[in-house]
Structure 1
Amino acid sequence: MNETKLTRQSLVNISTKGFVYVFALFLYLISWFCLWNISQYFLTDFILSALFLPSGLKLAAHVLSARHFLPLYTLGEMGLIAFLIFLLDEPGSTLILLFFSVVGHTLSIAFRNIWKDLDVYWVRIVALCYLVFFYSTICGISLILLSKPLGWEVSYALSGAVSALTGGILLVPFFYLLYDYVFRHAWQPLSPVLINQGVVLRPSAIVWCMFFFCVGMFAELVLLEDMKPQALLIFMLPNIFMAYRYGWQGAVLASVMNSILLATAKHLSGPFDTVLELQSFIFTQAVIGLGLGIGISRQYQLSHKLQIVNKNLQKELKSKNLLAQQLVHLEEGIRKSLARELHDEIGQNITAIQIQSMLAKRLALTPDAKKVAITINDMAMRIHSSTRQLLNQLRPQILDEMGIEEAIRQLVDEMGFKERDISFRLTFGIQEEKLDEVVAVTLYRITQELLNNICKHSGATRVYLTLLPGSQFVLELKDNGIGLPENWRSKGHGLKGVEERIQALGGNISIHSNKNGSQITVKLPIRLNENDQN
């Protein structure tokens, strides 16, 4: 029973494979015969017709088909050629086509070893063009070598090479386009979701081809007799447009469409003096379109990759900026916590030491004891003063007590602007209740550093400070001093640290300085305070 099932299954497999082989051979031979008939309309010569469009089919089929079909194609083609020679009573010289069939088979097998390692589309297309060139060169050289024994002219050998080259350049990319669309696209399996979805067609390429076909027919019927150069230029426009719009795929479609138009033009008006001239024009427009298409497709691909890289870089930059902002917030939180601890713990202890030293001074019985009490009190005062300075560096208490506007005005008074005869004007338009705590501290520290630089280095007599809201908080400081030195980044002036802190918060700083003064503009992002967020 099992043997019967295995035998039946083997027969089914053999019959299935046999049908596939027969169908593939039939499809190849009928396509070869149709293309040969079309070529016969152009060239009327049996050999040249077989070298024209059938060459493109042969090379494409031998490269793109499965390897086990290749001997079948070659033997079938040779049998068809022999049958046509016998049927049409062609001379024996046409048997050279059998040699060309073997050449195409051998060349394609060697080419497939290179082809399998190529993954990039434009490299594959260029490689196919090289295959066509080598095949047409071999055909031309063979015809030249046989021209003297068979009484052919050298121009005939040239026509054979041009026929193979033109047919290959025209059809091999076209068949590769079909192959790429059918076999290299990822097709989604049919599912209930896809069944219920409408079919979305994108026929724009076909619509454009039809439009240019109509334009080409108009050029043939109206312009071709009187304005041949202009008509031929119109024939080139579809290649350029389709290559620009759809890349190499559009260029291939336009080349095939133009070839049909040129064949029609030959039938209607005969714009070309010789068939060689027609083939040359077909080859030229196909190569130009294909070259433009490959270049534009390559540019689109590189542009797409660049967009992906830029998007990834933007994500990475955004992530790093967010991390830097979190670090700044964390730093300010630690500063605030440390300042609170210093104020609550150390401040109270220092105050207690001062009180105890004053009591010890009053109760001292000897001058030495009184002197020690005074020394302890002085040391406590110095520690208290140092602690206040440290607290101010960690967390300016004046911001919590008076707000940033009054803190800036008091900062100006402490720096002695009036004593230095420096005129100071503050324009403050920020609502402090909408000001984020970290941004407020940052604005204060920036202002402190910039005003300190003006006092020490600028020699200015007028200073204008403006803080305004908007899409970002804007701090603008102007003075009429001597400006910043050219190497201020390397010398310091505290601006480098200010710049880094601003960038960490996602802001930016611009500095314009000359001998007549400086203008510094700082922009920081708006952040709602915790109360608003809650």
Structure 2
Amino acid sequence: MKPQQRKVLIVDDSIILGKTLAMFLNKNGYQSDTVSSGEACLHRVENNDIPDLILMDIYLGPGGMNGLETTRRLHVSYDIPVVLHSAYNDRETLRSTQFMTKYGYIYKTPGNEEFVLAHIEMAFKLIERERMFRDLSAHLHHIKEEQNAFLAREIHDDLGQSIAALKMNLTILERAADRAEMQPVISDMRSILDSTITKTRALIHELRPPVLDTSGIIEALRWHLADFRKQFGIDVEFAPGIEELELGPERSLAVFRIVQEALTNVARHSGATHVRVDVRSNSRNFLVVITDNGTGFARQSTANASRGFGILSMTERAERIGGRFRIHSEPGEGTRVTVVMPHPRHHLPLEVESPQLELLSEAVEREQ
């Protein structure tokens, strides 16, 4: 992407400073404009005037929304990079910006336009590398799922037929063997064969659950939850608010894998005795909520590497289908995982804080 194609929106209550900086950025190949309030920034974005990067002043004058609150609201529904820009550099200000944006904080001083330009260019380099990483990650996930599907078919078609033939031959041998001493050997062979069949079926389902393709996402989740209960002895409650929904192959697989990963985390880390999975849908959103009564954890300290990678994987899968992944957990209070995505029948942008979605979420909470 060439610099002149990149749109930078400056949010600054000082109209003179904002316009001056916009003129400087425009001279250096950017398409830059200014607004003087957080409300005006949100209005632009909500009306589909979406910049490639926002340079956000923290203090935006009395009576209105400040830059931190504006950034928080933006990041709920939009993936727009924000660079914070402020004349305040006290410890409290720096602390409040620490987890707000990964694209940095610029101390606002007169005449530092060159520094701002350099920072913006560095931010765009980071954005480009993140895009490349996401594309690579999506490609690797796609290859992995294709390999899984191929292996599942091969195991089912080739190994499955061989095992079936072996079982038939064993039945014939059982009937033909008159000597009593052969019966324990045959019985042992049958036990090994039955165990192999069970493990083969489990492997096929792990690689690519056939029920996902034949019966849809609701039945696939129902099957997986029953298997999870049997495997780990954890009580599972499934509350699908819909009978079935055609999500399409990519979305169905992503939702299934997210629930699968969330339940794996429950089994490995939570110490939970009960887990509930809710599925809801309305005209705009599709919602999945996984709640457990486990030990919980401090969200900032994902010290356990496997849990950290699991959360990253679930986040990436949700974003790849146009959705959002959220996790809420506190020590001693269990964990709540929420996945929301646009309804597949409507080509509408995701509204994570929409009234409709709040009603869905409240309905789930009332039932728990």
| TM-score, scaled to structure 2 | 0.53
Give yes or no for the alignment of 1:351 onto 2:164: yes
SS of 1:439 mapped into structure 2: helix
| Change in CA separation of 1:360 and 1:465 when aligned onto 2, cut-off 3 Å | same
Query: In structure 2, which of residues 171, 191, 196 is the aligned counterpart of residue 383 of structure 1?
Result: 196
Identity over aligned pairs, percent: 21
SS of 1:341 mapped into structure 2: helix
Q: Which residue of 1 aligns with 2:48?
A: none
| Alpha carbons 2:218, 2:240 under 8 Å: kept | no
Q: CA deviation at 1:379?
A: 2.1
| Bigger radius of gyration | 1
Distance 1:442 1:414 in 2: 19
Q: Any idea what the Cα deviations from partners look like across 1:241-269, whole Å, max 9, x if unmatched?
A: 9988988xxxxxxxxxxxxxxxxxxxxxx
SS of 2:290 mapped into structure 1: strand
Q: Any idea what the Cα deviations from partners look like across 1:128-171, whole Å, max 9, x if unmatched?
A: xxxxxxxxxxxxxxxxxxxxxxxxxxxxxxxxxxxxxxxxxxxx
SS of 1:505 mapped into structure 2: helix
Give yes or no for the alignment of 1:392 onto 2:205: yes
SS of 2:303 mapped into structure 1: helix
Distance 1:501 1:356 in 2: 45
* Correspondence list, 1:52-451, <5 A: 298-416=111-229, 422=235, 424-428=237-241, 432-435=245-248, 437-451=249-263
Partner amino acid for 1:441? Answer: L
Q: Any idea what the Cα deviations from partners look like across 1:263-311, whole Å, max 9, x if unmatched?
A: xxxxxxxxxxxxxxxxxxxxxxxxxxxxxxxx85x53333333333323
| Alpha carbons 2:299, 2:328 under 8 Å: kept | no
| Change in CA separation of 1:304 and 1:511 when aligned onto 2, cut-off 3 Å | same
| Alpha carbons 2:287, 2:338 under 8 Å: kept | yes
Q: Any idea what the Cα deviations from partners look like across 1:39-94, whole Å, max 9, x if unmatched?
A: xxxxxxxxxxxxxxxxxxxxxxxxxxxxxxxxxxxxxxxxxxxxxxxxxxxxxxxx
Q: Any idea what the Cα deviations from partners look like across 1:299-355, whole Å, max 9, x if unmatched?
A: 333333333332333222212211111110110000000000000000110010010
SS of 1:489 mapped into structure 2: coil
Q: Which runs of 5+ in 2 are unaligned?
A: 1-16, 25-108, 346-368
Q: CA deviation at 1:461?
A: 5.0
Give yes or no for the alignment of 1:499 onto 2:311: yes
Distance 1:313 1:430 in 2: 43
Distance 2:236 2:200 in 1: 32
SS of 1:434 mapped into structure 2: coil
Distance 1:463 1:244 in 2: 52
| Alpha carbons 1:474, 1:522 under 8 Å: kept | yes
Higher strand share goes to which structure? 2
Distance 1:453 1:242 in 2: 50
| Alpha carbons 1:446, 1:498 under 8 Å: kept | no
Distance 2:258 2:23 in 1: 54
Q: Which runs of 5+ in 1 are unaligned?
A: 1-239, 248-294, 529-534
Distance 1:525 1:368 in 2: 65
Tell me whether 381-390 or 398-407 shows the greater mean CA deviation. 398-407
Q: Which residue of 2 aligns with 1:521?
A: 338
| Change in CA separation of 1:471 and 1:317 when aligned onto 2, cut-off 3 Å | farther
Q: CA deviation at 1:389?
A: 1.4
Tell me whether 494-503 or 359-368 shows the greater mean CA deviation. 494-503
Distance 1:509 1:315 in 2: 22
SS of 1:465 mapped into structure 2: strand
Q: Which residue of 2 aligns with 1:252?
A: none
| Change in CA separation of 1:499 and 1:480 when aligned onto 2, cut-off 3 Å | closer
Distance 1:242 1:364 in 2: 95
| Aligned residues: CA RMSD | 4.0
Distance 2:282 2:18 in 1: 50
Q: CA deviation at 1:524?
A: 6.1
| Change in CA separation of 1:343 and 1:377 when aligned onto 2, cut-off 3 Å | same
| Change in CA separation of 1:313 and 1:474 when aligned onto 2, cut-off 3 Å | farther
Distance 2:267 2:132 in 1: 38
Higher helix share goes to which structure? 1
Tell me whether 318-327 or 352-361 shows the greater mean CA deviation. 318-327
Partner amino acid for 2:161? Answer: Q
| TM-score, scaled to structure 1 | 0.38
| Alpha carbons 2:286, 2:340 under 8 Å: kept | yes
